[in-house]
Structure 1
Amino acid sequence: MKETPSAKLVSSANHTASPFGTQFCDHMTLVRFADGRWSEVETLPVGPLPLHPASHVLHYGSSCFEGMKAFRMQNGGVRIFRLDRHVERFQRSAELLCLPLPPADIVEAMIRQLVDLCLDDIPEAPGALYLRPALIGTEENIGAAGAPSAQAMLYVLASPVGDYFSRGGHGLTILIEDQELRSTPGFGQAKAGGNYASALRHVVKARKEHGADQVLFCPNGDVQETGASNFFLINDSQLLTKPLDASFLHGVTRDSVITLARDLNYDVIERDFTVAEVMDWIQTGEAALSGTAAVLSGVGSFVHKGATYKVGDGSTGPNTRKLSDALRALQSGRTEDRFGWLS
């Protein structure tokens, strides 16, 4: 198994893993697109990619990616969580980036082939094998600023992971940014590197000045999402989140949490809401972030206009824990896969 030079091994009762996303299985799968067709799937050792310095991706940002997890079941088997939905979103991102559209069957075959190669590296739950397909434009043309790349490379990496936020039961600290946008309007639903890059300066500043873990983007007071996760407000009977639109990522974990919440008799409300409503809600309720990496992580405090506002006692709330436990139990096969999400 390969490890980046900066990775530091940490242990837990259930598995040993490097910091999230810094440890890789020995192999990756790869295909290329040229002359209007995709190549056969290759299995290669993980290592540097051969890219011409004029490659489209290096100059015009023609790249998108996806993230999903494979879990080890209690019976020893391995299943991938919501593979079809992740592949569907990956194709949508490719369309928005004007990249060659990878057929679903090719993407699924690459992912399954890699999982089979990495079976021995998959940790026990709550750990997982994080799977990262990435699609990049490789046409060698620095004059193609106004044209899509006619050539592309698609590869899949596998990384054994534990928790993304290592905070124990402590809630996250979130800075509320009520003016700036996370991404280009209409492009937030793409899982593109540029969206994360555009949010990064705000996250770095929030971490440096306030010790925040993430930034919640609320342009003109409209609550959207954080730099890397969808956002929920939760109480004993309700779950509130923004309805899907083109301004933010259509999270597969978001959809999973909503489905589980309805199954557990929460009243799911999808509507626009404001920063003022967040401040009012947290006086008695909870807040949480959701994503493939974050799963469902509780918020312990918000920073807004220089003041800190605590959520409950600052730890992950009981309803967030309830929904998170239900999701993790389903992902690891400890409860019945009643929604057909494991494949």
Structure 2
Amino acid sequence: MLETSEISVQKVEKSKIKEVDFNNIPFGRVYSDHMFIADYKDGEWTDLRIQPYENLSLAPASSVIHYGQSIFEGLKAYKTKSGETAIFRPKANAARLNKSAERMCIPEVPEDLFMHALKELLKLDSAWIPDQPGNSLYIRPFVFAMDDYIGIKPSDTYRFMIITCPVSSYYTEPVKVKIETKYTRAAEGGTGFAKAAGNYAGALYPARQAQKLGYHQLLWTDAKEHKYFEESGTMNIMFVINDTLITPEAGSTILRGITRDSVLTLARDWGMKVEERRITVEEVINAAKDGTLQEAFGAGTAATIAHIKLIGYEDTDYTLPAIEERKFSNKVLKAMDAIKSGEAEDKFGWLHMI
């Protein structure tokens, strides 16, 4: 286990926290005072440090700029009712980061390094964790290539960083989604299961086209036939049809979401029927037409639960039941919030307390 002394700390001269209106926080725009950095060279992570949040200096030939060898994670910290700091399932994020690292030829970040860096950074910036209902501290760990070299090969040097930002809700209203049947997010054998930066860059153009039509996000379908649902923008997708929770099975094209797993775990614990399987566009549209589609929502760290208001398909919008009628998604959101705040028992050991 790493010792605290192995992380050097340079504190800000003056905190920016008094400039922040915690009752009106735009998502991903306001950053905490400090950031963690570690550099990989000669086969090991070195120079572990916490320093003031500031811009980076990169060589114009830095390989991450040219070849996109970059991965990231997203998780959140909360203030419990007793005033403690709780991080939601950080070890699951550490494990997934390393799954992404393997696929992208990036060296593993040891779990003890990940957890120790996270703990020390949050202890230093604990005042940045909002205590307003619905708010949290978003945590962004990421790793990227650092070689000053224009050549297509895995980098020899890397940087692991963690930055944090106080946030409110990612979506301020129920979302409108469009089923995408032309463009592709991920294909079998690709990097769809990894949180690789390029996955998101390639999704921007089709998402923008949908936004021009009045939708917030896309419901991605498979690359081969555009017949089966995969995920939605920044979230895994879930449906409740005839009192059964159905979600696409995670695989090589679908991110294995931690919020997704948490929702499924709670549903099974409550005795709800759960199916992880391929689900067709036709099945969902038919359920929307005959009234058996009771709920549709996205599950992800940023949004937690994002209610889907309507689904657009082939120039027709299918409106879903009113939010207040959605028994499961409202229940699961309330249950997860209660666990994170310490109001409910953490029976699955999801919280890491600092």
TM-score between both structures, scaled by the size of structure 1:
0.92
| 1:79 and 2:89 correspond | no
**Residues 63 and 148, structure 2, Cα contact 8 Å, conserved in 1:** yes
1:48 corresponding residue in structure 2: 55
Give the 5 Å matches for 1:25-174: 25-124=32-131, 125-143=133-151, 145=152, 147-167=153-173, 171-174=174-177
Residue 268 of structure 1 deviates from its aligned partner by 0.8
Residue 166 of structure 1 deviates from its aligned partner by 0.7
1:294 corresponding residue in structure 2: 303
Partners of 1:287 and 1:328 in 2: how far apart? Answer: 19
Partners of 2:335 and 2:308 in 1: how far apart? Answer: 18
Q: Structure 1's 174 and 29: CA in aligned 2 closer, same or farther, altered over 3 A?
A: same
1:213 corresponding residue in structure 2: 216
**Residues 2 and 24, structure 1, Cα contact 8 Å, conserved in 2:** no
Q: 2:183 aligns with which of 180, 184, 197?
A: 180
Partners of 1:129 and 1:316 in 2: how far apart? Answer: 30
Residue 236 of structure 1 deviates from its aligned partner by 6.7
Residue 302 of structure 1 deviates from its aligned partner by 0.7
TM-score between both structures, scaled by the size of structure 2:
0.89
2:312 corresponding residue in structure 1: 303
1:334 corresponding residue in structure 2: 343
**Letter in structure 1 aligned against 2:149:** N
Partners of 1:79 and 1:304 in 2: how far apart? Answer: 41
Partners of 1:28 and 1:106 in 2: how far apart? Answer: 15
2:3 corresponding residue in structure 1: none
2:322 corresponding residue in structure 1: 313
Residue 327 of structure 1 deviates from its aligned partner by 1.2
Give ranges in structure 1 of 5+ residues lacking alignment: none
Deviation string, structure 1 residues 18-40 (Cα, Å, up to 9, x no partner) = 21111110100100001111113
RMSD: 1.8
SS at 2:209's partner residue?
helix
Percent identity (aligned): 35
SS at 2:76's partner residue?
strand
Residue 183 of structure 1 deviates from its aligned partner by 2.5
SS at 1:70's partner residue?
strand
Partners of 2:323 and 2:348 in 1: how far apart? Answer: 33
Deviation string, structure 1 residues 142-169 (Cα, Å, up to 9, x no partner) = 02x1x100000011001111110011xx
Partners of 1:239 and 1:333 in 2: how far apart? Answer: 26
**Letter in structure 2 aligned against 1:299:** I
Residue 272 of structure 1 deviates from its aligned partner by 0.4
SS at 1:280's partner residue?
helix
Deviation string, structure 1 residues 31-58 (Cα, Å, up to 9, x no partner) = 0001111113201111111211111101
Residue 314 of structure 1 deviates from its aligned partner by 6.6
Deviation string, structure 1 residues 233-267 (Cα, Å, up to 9, x no partner) = 02573210111211111000000000011112211
> How many equivalent pairs are there?
329
Residue 178 of structure 1 deviates from its aligned partner by 2.2
Partners of 1:178 and 1:191 in 2: how far apart? Answer: 23
**Letter in structure 2 aligned against 1:221:** K
**Residues 330 and 337, structure 1, Cα contact 8 Å, conserved in 2:** yes
**Residues 300 and 315, structure 1, Cα contact 8 Å, conserved in 2:** no
**Residues 176 and 215, structure 1, Cα contact 8 Å, conserved in 2:** yes
Residue 184 of structure 1 deviates from its aligned partner by 4.5
**Letter in structure 1 aligned against 2:312:** V
Partners of 1:122 and 1:17 in 2: how far apart? Answer: 14
**Residues 75 and 138, structure 2, Cα contact 8 Å, conserved in 1:** yes
SS at 1:41's partner residue?
strand
**Residues 101 and 107, structure 2, Cα contact 8 Å, conserved in 1:** yes
**Residues 307 and 323, structure 2, Cα contact 8 Å, conserved in 1:** no
**Letter in structure 1 aligned against 2:335:** A
